[in-house]
Structure 1
């Protein structure tokens, strides 16, 4: 994919930061020595970690130069590195590995989690949040419009860009096999937004991005026009003119013995 757009992502910063707050609140660590924020984005989640654990040495990691640029401006005293989580090989072990809304883009979670747990120090925590919304109207409509339009062939790779994440049972099994204790849960957030156009704006920086990256400017406009039209049918206006975006997210905190 093309580089992520930090400005587009931050249009909904408050809503996007809530899951990081909820995840961090369940991390059972007192005074960790160090931590890493995988897929740190523009630094909004990293900032939360620093405030929670002010004495810890925190590293931010992301594959996007634009996201890292925003993160460095936000937290100029912190270290940020450009790296791909899929191939990342740290030189040290961490007391906290924090991964908010990033692992859903990677395949083979059974092996991925085993690898990430191996980077934890004894007693360390792997804290993860992933969107679990591929069956929601917002994402089903992305795929339907991609497959029904004149761009169907061009967008075939985008339809498969994100695999469905595992079940509670899957993550519990994979993490218990590593010897970790596991706290796992799901929360469905309900975001009141300003109409169908706002839902499209929300996903332009995430779920829609693999589709839009493959289209020309004119095709992007037409795809988004169709998407907004279908979204307006799927998300009816409330009495105050808002629409309610349902957004399920799966969480777990695994602690290495």
Structure 2
């Protein structure tokens, strides 16, 4: 929702204030905006899905943590149409979209359903064959601390797999943070553009997962995405990294337009448009951990 994805995840607590500056805002998510780049956002999940082994149970029991609008959760049903699949998310807007468009029986006799959950505190209530998360855990501080509990609820031979963005040092994020801390916006938006990096590096994920008794495959990929249309990088971040800022500015349309005008120019310089579109590099980190049978 990861940053990307997707949005369905733990967000900063509302209303916090430090030294007179506004604290982080719980973002309001826009499923339609997020899905404007659905193909690029779904591709890393397809690459992750290709590396996930067959689940030990039939029909499989699957959890999707941070399911967002459900379009990626539905890809699980395409691969395992007999499975019982549950998506979990913190965003009411995302869950409403997922339920309306994807919930119900699947082609192979399985089912798709969606439920509210804060991933910082989610613990399975039954054994799973697969627990998967796509571009969500970067929103959850301390998420590696949950791995032991989640893996403990996998059936022997089950898999825990996830993908997180690894692009928080990219210009799209660095420029946003700098703009929020600039003299014009600091009193209103200080702290809203900065994203604490909650993910580990690939080697640390590998160490954590193998230390929990799993056979793990961890890798990273940088996608050089070719985006199209006017100001496509701005359009991308409107669905993810910009959500806390837009939520904080609320209905103050002059402020929203003034902020976006400045940020737009910074992004145009950082990501110049070419004759065939705008190249937007995006690094992602992947892990597939199989609990030993």
Give TM-score, length-normalised by structure 1: 0.94
Give TM-score, length-normalised by structure 2: 0.83
1:43 corresponds in structure 2 to 70
Structure 1 pair 149–225 and aligned structure 2 pair: CA distance change class (3 A) = farther
Pairing of 1:63-142 with structure 2 (within 5 A): 63-77=90-104, 78-142=112-176
Contact 2:55 2:159 in 1 (8 A): no
Confirm whether residue 248 of structure 1 aligns to residue 283 of structure 2: yes
Per mean C-alpha deviation after superposition, the further-off stretch among 28-37 and 155-164 is: 155-164
Residue 31 of structure 1: CA displacement? 5.8
Structure-1 separation of matches of 2:83 and 2:90: 23
Contact 1:4 1:205 in 2 (8 A): yes
Structure-1 separation of matches of 2:183 and 2:231: 20
Structure-2 separation of matches of 1:155 and 1:119: 41
Confirm whether residue 218 of structure 1 aligns to residue 254 of structure 2: yes
Structure-2 separation of matches of 1:2 and 1:135: 21
1:61 to 88, 95, 104: 88
Contact 1:134 1:164 in 2 (8 A): no
1:224-257: CA deviation from partner (whole Å, max 9, x where unpaired): 11111011111122123x1101111110001111
Structure-2 separation of matches of 1:220 and 1:234: 21
How big is the alpha-carbon RMSD for the aligned residues of Structure 1 and Structure 2? 1.6
Listed as ranges, the gaps of 5+ residues in structure 2 are 1-25, 105-111
Q: Which has the higher helix share?
A: 1
Listed as ranges, the gaps of 5+ residues in structure 1 are none
3-state secondary structure, aligned to 2:272: coil
Contact 1:161 1:210 in 2 (8 A): no
Structure-1 separation of matches of 2:273 and 2:280: 11
3-state secondary structure, aligned to 1:71: helix
Structure-1 separation of matches of 2:128 and 2:187: 44
1:154 corresponds in structure 2 to 188
Q: Which runs of 4+ in 1 moved over 3 A?
A: 159-162
3-state secondary structure, aligned to 2:190: helix
Structure-1 separation of matches of 2:100 and 2:181: 40
3-state secondary structure, aligned to 1:230: helix
Structure-1 separation of matches of 2:66 and 2:144: 19
Structure-1 separation of matches of 2:186 and 2:229: 27
